[in-house]
Amino acid sequence: EGCSENNVSTTKYPCVKSTGEVTTCYRKKCCKGFKFVLGQCIPEDYDVCAGAPCEQQCTDHFGRVVCTCYPGYRYDRERHRKREKPYCL
């Protein structure tokens, strides 16, 4: 069991198919210091908001950026469609 380039550890173990045949199965998990988020292993201390992807408030929601506006502001969908930073008016 070792860590691969994509931070996934794979363990081989014997298992039995429904036909009774013994075969090799694989169990994958994130390496130590990594967590599974949206199909990939990322560092446990990774901060998705560190690069300031939002104009006002940023929340890490299971490894995804969620941008919100301060009270009294509203989200401008038109600017977001133009692939600018999520913008609050």
pLDDT tens string 56-74: 899 988 778 888 899 988 8
pLDDT at 28 over 80: yes
pLDDT at 51 over 90: no
At residue 21, the pLDDT reads 95
Distance CA 63, CA 18 (A): 37
Length of the chain (residues)? 89
Token pair listed for 31: 């390496």
Distance CA 48, CA 66 (A): 9
The residue with greater pLDDT, 25 or 53, is 25
Q: How many CB atoms lie within 10 A of CB 85?
A: 13
pTM: 0.51
At residue 47, the pLDDT reads 85
H helices of 23-64, in order, are none
At residue 41, the pLDDT reads 86
